[in-house]
Amino acid sequence: MTSLICATDVSVSHADADLPVLSHVDFHIVPAEIVTVVGPNGSGKSTLVRALLGHVALATGRVQRAPALRIGYVPQRVHIERAMPMTVRRFLSLPRRVSDAQASAALERTGVPGLEGRQITALSGGQFQRVLLARALLNDPQLLVLDEPTQGLDQPGIVAFYKLIEEVRAETGVAVLMVSHDLLVVMRASDRVVCLNGHVCCEGTPQVVSAAPAYRAMFGAESQGTLALYQHHHDHDHDHVAEGHSHGPACAHTH
């Protein structure tokens, strides 16, 4: 299947860092796929996301994006916007103006209807993340890129957010690239997981990754039980969209 984004042999060095932040990373994502990148703090997850979006210079390799690809991006840090006095309605019209109907529909879709008149600063953490998602959905993206979208949420909030992501994917066919630290939930909600630590340590279906020695070494005690949890939740239907997504270096088909 044609990739939306395909990266080959990507390395990134920052000016004031001795070692490359990313070394020879291959990555791809196809339509309607949910791929989650996990890894320790400083392992290059946000840098990879920014490299895929073309926001940082590459030391080696190349990134191919499908022509005219529509991306809804929520960066890891949006606190500056949050500190400004601004209603949710106005926030949704930045940077691109949208109609009242579009704004309301997006809020409805992400489970926070009727918040238009509320100040951004008055939202709870969970409401704010949903408003960010609503804004990212406004240009009818083919790919959502969410860098730690569940930061600050409690466990039920995290589970609800991932459920919402899966619903949106099922309805719209949008592909989702996420960075996350929520291992247990990631393992339930992703088609494919990429473990990053400057390079790709392991990747594959949640089942494959959670059994991989590199994953277990990276996350230690935290990783315990993720395989059991994955199997428990996938004994039933599911995986209908996942099948056949994670095969092969799909770059050859992009432009």
**What SS3 class is residue 200?**
strand
DSSP 42: T
Contact characters 5-24, ligand ATP, x per CB under 6 A? ---------x-xx---x---
For ligand ATP, which residue of 18, 41, 67, 99 counts as binding (CB under 6 A)? 41
Between residues 60 and 76, which has the closer beta carbon with respect to Mg ion? 76
Site for Mg ion in 59-78 (CB under 5 A): 76
Q: Which is nearer to ligand ATP, 60 or 119 (CB)?
A: 60
Asked if 223 touches ligand ATP (CB under 6 A), the answer is no
- Sheet containing 5-12, strands listed edge to edge, beginning at the edge strand earlier in sequence: 22-29, 5-12, 60-65
17 binds, among ligand ATP, Mg ion, none (CB under 5 to 8 A by kind): ligand ATP
Q: Considering the rule CB under 6 A, would residue 142 count as an interface residue with ligand ATP? A: no
Closest CB to ligand ATP among residues 44, 141: 44
Chain-centroid distance, C-alpha 190: 10
> Can you tell me the distance from the alpha carbon of 201 to that of 210, in angstroms, rounded to the nearest whole number?
12
* Residue whose beta carbon is closest to Mg ion: 46
Residue among 13, 23, 36, 46 that touches Mg ion (CB under 5 A) = 46
Main-chain dihedrals φ then ψ at residue 132, nearest 5 degrees: -60, -40
Least distance in angstroms from the C-beta of 6 to ligand ATP: 20
Stretch of residues binding Mg ion (CB under 5 A), selected from 28-36, 46-54, 62-70, 195-203: 46-54
Output 113-119 pairs: Cβ under 8 A, ≥24 positions apart.
115/88, 116/87, 116/88, 116/89, 116/92, 117/87, 117/88, 117/89, 118/87, 118/88, 119/85, 119/86, 119/87, 119/88
SS3 at position 83: helix
Q: Which residues, other chains included, contact 127 with Cβ-Cβ below 8 Å and sequence gap of 6+?
A: 112, 115
By a kind-dependent CB cut-off of 5 to 8 A, residue 47 interacts, out of Mg ion, ligand ATP, none, with ligand ATP
HSE of 75 in the Cβ direction (CA atoms, 13 Å)? Answer: 11
List interacting residues with Mg ion (CB under 5 A): 45-46, 76
List interacting residues with ligand ATP (CB under 6 A): 14, 16-17, 21, 39, 41-47, 76
